[in-house]
Amino acid sequence: MKRLLICGLVAASLSACAVVPVAAPAGPFETEGDFSVMLQKDWSRWPSQINPATNGEFLTQDGVLLNRVHLVSIPDSEGLVRARRNVEMPLYTAGSSEFEIVEFITSSLEMIGYSDVEADLIRPAEFDGVDGLRFGLTGIWQNGMRVKGEAATIAHDDRLDLVLFMAPELHYYDAVAPEVEAIMNSIDLPD
């Protein structure tokens, strides 16, 4: 009986430490990165600890395979994709040109299962008084589904702050795009 009680306490302790998706309620949202955003409605938050392929966290309305908003700050000489042994990963380099930032994002997406990734509507943008870059994305997920996305990037202070939205082209992109637009427009950088 004593042994069962000890095993039960150990199991309860381990499950209490498990990282699981949690609610991200509407309002100000502090990301794991070096910026915050404003959420107009509730989202599901997937912390970086349960994200096996990339650094950073996700927000989703319908599940990470149906739509995801990736929020991450990438330091100089690090990547969006989690490092893998004996695989060369795309790395962000402070001082990268706009073209190099777009290439870094598209190459990173191809490393995690997207193919034929292309950027379009590349344009300058301003976030919280700091110059940045916005662009659209298209590609094909590994299951053959066509996807669309949008990226907001701010290269400053030797890091790249990134809000990256990806969703299937059919229904899910259009259903969430207005909310994601508001999130990107609300990026708040620390003083």
| pLDDT tens per residue, range 158-191 | 999 999 999 999 889 999 999 999 999 999 998 7
Q: Which CATH class is domain 18-185?
A: alpha beta
Q: What is d(CA 24, CA 47) in angstroms, rounded to the nearest whole number?
A: 11
Q: What are the residue ranges spanned by the domains of the chain?
A: 18-185
Predicted pLDDT of residue 52:
81
pLDDT (tens digit per residue) in 84-120: 788 888 999 999 999 999 999 999 999 988 999 999 9
Q: What is d(CA 92, CA 100) in angstroms, rounded to the nearest whole number?
A: 9
Residue 96, Cβ density class (10 Å: 0-12 exposed, 13-18 middle, ≥19 buried): middle
What is the pTM for the complete model shown?
0.86
- The backbone torsions φ and ψ at residue 124, rounded to the nearest 5 degrees and listed phi first, read -70, 155
Predicted pLDDT of residue 6:
46
Q: Judge whether residue 4 has pLDDT over 80.
A: no
Output DSSP code: residue 48: G
- Tell me which of 1-10, 125-134, 157-166 is least confident: 1-10
